[in-house]
Homo-oligomer: A and B are copies of this chain.
Amino acid sequence: MQHLSINTIKSWERFYRANFINCLSGFKSANLIGTVNKDGQPNLAVFSSVVHLGSDPALVGFINRPLAAAPHTIKNIEATGVYTINHINLSFVEKAHQTSAKYPVEVNEFEAVGLGEQYIDPIIAPFVAESLLKYALTLVEIVPIRYNNTFLVIGSVTDVILNETLIEVDGFIDIEKANSLSCLGVDAYYKPTQLTRYGYAKPNSFEYDSSAIKLTESINKIS
């Protein structure tokens, strides 16, 4: 195992370093966020930073980069208070990634990349027609992250659109069946396959055998 200090990492070429740091946080959720500005002009952009904040109330967050780099989505959400999050499915991943290109503000990314623009009354923000799991949110708060000029955008889920055959008996959604994807770094996409569901963990319901301790002791010695 290699030990890299941040000073070493800082000395690397800018794009090499960005690829490396972007991978540290691990596999991410691959989504398209749909918005309109106050004149109804649509915008669609790929986001990999969607994060669950709580289930009651149902809150979902995402990180918006600094305004200079990524102004459209956050400005539209501020202006209208409404947006959609659409899972990227295997069938349209290439088009979805293409929305990350820097199109001028007057370009409708739905048209530019060839994805269907779907409106579900009374939600004014567009959904991605092809997405098999998507939801609408109203803006709760935009939290500025002062340290690097990014923003945590917090929304409250108002509507969920999905094929109900995806919902399992305990409410779990089988997004693998919808071919929802994961992503990594700035440009890699992944198809996850379920290993297992472990259920709710309790302190007394788990036993590990002592061979595990011997194993970790050996690893500690060699690392």
The chain A residues found within 8 Å of chain B, CB to CB, are 1-6, 9, 12, 14-31, 48-61, 63, 65, 85, 87, 90, 93-95, 97-104, 107, 112-118, 120, 129-130, 132-133, 135, 140-141, 143, 145-148, 150, 152, 154, 156-164, 167-168, 170-173, 175-176, 180-182, 184-203, 205-206, 208-209, 212-213, 215-217, 219-220, 223
Contact = CB atoms under 8 A, between A and B. Distances in A.
Nearest to A49: B51
Contacts of A208: 95, 113-114
B223 A195 contact: no
Indicate the member of A9, A52, A101, A102 with the most B CB atoms within 10 Å. A52
Indicate the member of A100, A159, A176, A181 with the most B CB atoms within 10 Å. A159
Given A19-B171, A129-B223, 17 more contacts: A1-B162, A2-B163, A3-B159, A3-B161, A5-B159, A6-B159, A20-B171, A23-B175, A24-B60, A25-B51, A27-B175, A61-B63, A94-B198, A129-B220, A145-B152, A172-B185, A187-B198
Nearest to A201: B101
Instruction: Return the 4 tightest CB-CB contacts between A and B, nearest first.
Output: A116-B216, A26-B29, A114-B208, A19-B171
Nearest to A93: B195
Contacts of A118: 219-220, 223
Contact of A164 (B2, B6, B29, B148): B2
A203 B101 contact: yes
Contact of A1 (B9, B143, B163): B163
A25 B2 contact: no
Nearest to A189: B195
Contacts of A12: 171
A221 to B, nearest CB: 10
A31 B14 CA distance: 26
Given A118-B223, A164-B2, A182 B182 contact: yes
